[in-house]
Structure 1
């Protein structure tokens, strides 16, 4: 039988421990003369075998006289699966001690390929990717901080997903700072602190702790986590922390602990700009099979700022509306969602709004600002309007230019001209500052 020959060939090429761990759990399903179909206990073994042994199996098939042989792996269907957890990432691998890792429930959508990268989060995403690859450039300690809803959990979930997919034997512990504190308290109460310390110091390859800011004032927990961190860093293990505050803004955190946490890369995640928000909207709408035209995407991207969860909420609401109306998305739906469901009702400044303000202040029509006129009484207000639009909105240079029928290079030139005049001429500075104050009051 072909599979018997393949087994013998594999056993002769790898150590007995590797064979028992990865290859022995495979079982023969079928062979049609070219395709060898094997059943695997779970997706992790399938992924590992596919990556490390598929070429060897094809070579052994060729040695057995099978031309263009192919290996097909299928996961076993467990009819009596335990109800304790529905996450495939928490299955125990053969010969691996139980409870070797600690994970919170992972969101299956929070992966690197579903994370939208922009200028606001490029550094954080790159650092997390490097952490999963063991890139020495990233160091062994990473501290991410941002306001809520900007992607910290998405990235930490993505780290866990990727590590478990590519290196399922990695001893990864993923929990919140509050969970760590609660576990420590149980250890003290049950007099099992030695086990608690061994778990994180001796049986951990990568530690991910979210919401580190919740440890403010909890000196005992900080002390224990500091000892764990010190041990992991000295052992060359990897550590990722997240917080809603920059290290310098953390209060009641031990200075030695803070110093260790920030010994590697510290990177903020800022709110995405308008263009990135629009890209996020298009991406998430595609995942929801929701068709949005360019105007709808632009309106949502312009008005829903900050927390990305607002975008997700808006898209879910739009999806429900289209299902109820059995039609497509229209402008009224989009405006309704932004104003009522998302709860974002405050006025959002746009280039056209600023154009109208400047028009009234300089006694020149909006049409004149959009015209090709190069007269000073038109050109100066136009340049000031572009300068203020860039300063007070998140619109791109292209969008600002479009408002005045100009390209982005003209906008850049106008901004430079006004900036120079404000610096050199106190009268111009006062006038522009006055207009700027009025813009902020709109």
Structure 2
């Protein structure tokens, strides 16, 4: 799903809770389709002039307000293109028919410094990230800031916390968060669409004040992408713009990486994050239990923490499983329930539930093809079940987010995070969706 489609989906949810009548929402607003993002303006597509004129006349202020709310102020207006064919309408509305828009990923507003649990394993990256985010002139602190460590240890959380903090402290400046995969894919798209788009691509990434790139290790072996990133890096540094990078390994361990990039990555501050110690794992579990509004005795949290020496994601996944088991069977959370829910007998390595079980159950429940759920179709009837599948996999499996993304059609972990948090939020607001998700869970467990 493109970033502008995610933005519009969030705006629709916001608009549903506004003062717009249900009839007006259903008739005029819901049929609008997100088609593009141009700077701070969302481009919507309508099949008829009548609908477009009604929206512009009666609902423009509300839509602008919702866009501003869900984007954190980076998008605050919209335009509607009209035509029976979306692609033709977009071309006719632009002076540059083949121009495409380049952008980063949405930043999860829930990932902040305030809810990042600090311990001995991550205090260096926390301190460095806070210094960058809170400096009056961030580029003079640590530039670049290169954060590295294994998967599931909080690197994405800290990157998004930096982005959220910068947006608050420097609202007039441009903050761009993207994964290395997005950078690569958008570069390929620019090359395939011609010279003008190459210039637009460079402008998008080189005109920012803060560039935050996740999973930079995926530059490995991609010669043209490395060259493009090298020049982007150089230009931003020369302009005293801040760069923050995350990787699952230090620069000297990224294979097939040009020396000129390696030396530049090592020219700033290298901050590594380790697996959390027992005390930090207990603190993380305690905070997550509080966020879920579930009371868990400290002895039970300690038991889970001592049994799990892995990454933070798997730790939280296990707590989520235990809470789910408690609610499903209507039992208090005890050590016996923990053992039952996690099936942590010695030597057990198999998950009770498989990723394929979840994918197949979701597809069957919504009467869609498995291939469509894993594919690239973006209509709501497919996209929402796909997000539900990702949400359930994070809830019911102890898998890295990267692995879940690969199982859902090769998507990146930022997409999985977005889907997980979006469905978790929707469940609180939509009783039918909450019931559907619980029904799917029960179907999966019965299998």
For the aligned pair, the TM-score class normalised by the smaller chain equals 0.5 to 0.7
Aligned mates of 2:153, 2:200 — CA distance in 1: 36
Match of 1:112, SS? coil
Match of 1:175, SS? strand
Do 1:100 and 1:171's aligned partners in 2 also have CA atoms closer than 8 Å?
no
* 1:142 paired residue number: 145
The unaligned stretches of length 5 or more in structure 2 are 1-58, 79-99, 350-447
Structure 1 runs of 4+ aligned residues shifted over 4 Å read 76-86, 343-346
Structure 1 residues 81 and 198, CA, compared in 2 at 3 Å: closer, same or farther?
A: closer
* 1:159 paired residue number: 162
**What aligned pairs does 1:19-168 form with structure 2 within 5 A after superposition?**
79-80=62-63, 87-89=70-72, 91-93=74-76, 102-134=103-135, 135=138, 138-168=141-171
Equivalent in 269, 272, 279 of residue 275 of structure 1: 279
What per-residue deviation string (whole Å, max 9, x for no partner) do you get for residues 365-416 of structure 1? xxxxxxxxxxxxxxxxxxxxxxxxxxxxxxxxxxxxxxxxxxxxxxxxxxxx
Do 1:138 and 1:264's aligned partners in 2 also have CA atoms closer than 8 Å?
no
* 1:298 paired residue number: 302
Aligned mates of 2:181, 2:139 — CA distance in 1: 30
Do 1:291 and 1:328's aligned partners in 2 also have CA atoms closer than 8 Å?
no
TM-score by structure 2 length? 0.55
Equivalent in 183, 197, 201 of residue 196 of structure 1: 201
Structure 1 residues 259 and 179, CA, compared in 2 at 3 Å: closer, same or farther?
A: same
Do 1:124 and 1:267's aligned partners in 2 also have CA atoms closer than 8 Å?
yes
**What aligned pairs does 1:31-430 form with structure 2 within 5 A after superposition?**
79-80=62-63, 87-89=70-72, 91-93=74-76, 102-134=103-135, 135=138, 138-190=141-193, 191=195, 192-201=197-206, 203-339=207-343, 345=348
What per-residue deviation string (whole Å, max 9, x for no partner) do you get for residues 291-336 of structure 1? 1112201111101122111122122222222322334211211122
For the aligned residues, what is the CA RMSD? Answer: 3.1
Larger radius of gyration: 1
Structure 1 residues 103 and 196, CA, compared in 2 at 3 Å: closer, same or farther?
A: closer
The unaligned stretches of length 5 or more in structure 1 are 1-75, 347-442
Structure 1 residues 266 and 146, CA, compared in 2 at 3 Å: closer, same or farther?
A: same
Structure 1 residues 100 and 86, CA, compared in 2 at 3 Å: closer, same or farther?
A: farther
Do 2:102 and 2:186's aligned partners in 1 also have CA atoms closer than 8 Å?
no
TM-score by structure 1 length? 0.55
What per-residue deviation string (whole Å, max 9, x for no partner) do you get for residues 54-81 of structure 1? xxxxxxxxxxxxxxxxxxxxxx997557
Do 2:68 and 2:76's aligned partners in 1 also have CA atoms closer than 8 Å?
no
Do 1:117 and 1:125's aligned partners in 2 also have CA atoms closer than 8 Å?
yes
Aligned mates of 1:77, 1:288 — CA distance in 2: 36
